[in-house]
Every structure is written in C-alpha cells, then in structure tokens.
Amino acid sequence: MDLDRIARLTEQQRVCLRYVYAHMTSKEIAPHLGIEPGSVDQHIKAAMRVLGVGDRRAAARMLAEHESLVPLHAFDRSPARSASMREDPIEFEPTPPRLRRWRVPLPTWGTRPSELSPWQRLAWVFAIMMAFAFAFGVFLAGIEALSRMGRAIARGLL
C-alpha cells in the first residue's frame, strides 16, 4: 500500500522530500528549484496528503526508505542527481531495507561525516593505514620479485 502511495508522488514532490530528508527548510530548498518557498510548502503538503502522514519529516523518511531499496549505483541521495532518476526508472524487487551501520569515509553516496561517530572515524584511520601499508608491502615485494626474475633471466642468457 505504501508502494502505491509513493508511486503517486510527482517528481517535484520527490525532489522536495529529498531536500527535507537532508534537513533543509522550505526557504533553503526554494532557491535550488528556482521556485518560491510557498510553492515548496505546497509540494510538501501535497506529498504528505498522498502519503497520508501529518509530518513532513515522516513523509521524507518514507520516500528515503523506499528509495534506499534501489541499488546504490543507480541512485544518489544528493538532489542534484535526481534528474537522472527520472530518465531511467529502475525495476527492482522490494527487499527488506538493510541498515548500513558502517559508511565509507568518502563524500559520495550522499553520506555526511556526521553519520560516523568519532570512534568509527578513528577506526577508519587505522583501517586505511593498514590497507595502505599492506598495498605498499605487496608493491615492494612485487618489484623485488620482478628484479630477481630479471637477474635470473639475464644470467640465463649470458
């Protein structure tokens, strides 16, 4: 039933709700869409009616939860890319939403640093260190092996 309701949202309403999900007020949303704050309110109120909720944040959450079912590569939470959403609708099988507790410390996929706790950030520091140290070690070992091979081949030829 929620799926039917969400399907009835217009693209403009979806865009507004995505901004609401990013904690933006109507006044902040309006310049991004080139419309008046009053019109943003109208879109959000209409979306709330369609979804049958009395709270704009609840409406935004519903849409966000729904859209998190779409594969990550196909959907970016940043509103700027929402245009590409409209062009290629994606077929998907609804699966239970998966809670992603760990987020990659990169400013992509719409993640914000505040989604990582201080300790998670520190853990990331050490994880990246280990990964780099390992990659560096493998790289050096590879060069070492190649140079040994080169020397062996050179000896064989002489």
Count of residues in contact with other proteins, rule CB under 8 A: 20
**Calpha distance 41→62 (Å, rounded):** 18
In whole angstroms, what is the distance from residue 121 CA to residue 116 CA? 6
89 binds other proteins (CB under 8 A): no
> Would you call 120 helix, strand, or coil by DSSP?
helix
Q: What is the C-alpha to C-alpha distance for residues 2 and 4, in angstroms, rounded to an integer?
A: 5
Contacts of 32 (CB under 8 A, 6+ apart): 19, 79
* Chain mean position to CA 57: 19
Nearer Cβ to other proteins, position 5 or 105?
105
Q: Which of 1, 7, 106, 157 binds other proteins (CB under 8 A)?
A: 106
Q: Which of 57, 81, 100, 112 binds other proteins (CB under 8 A)?
A: 112
Comparison of 39 and 105: residue with beta carbon closer to other proteins = 105
- Identified binder of other proteins from the candidate list 7, 87, 101, 126, rule CB under 8 A: 126
Residues in contact with other proteins by CB under 8 A are 28, 105-107, 112-114, 117-119, 121-122, 124-126, 128-129, 132-133, 136
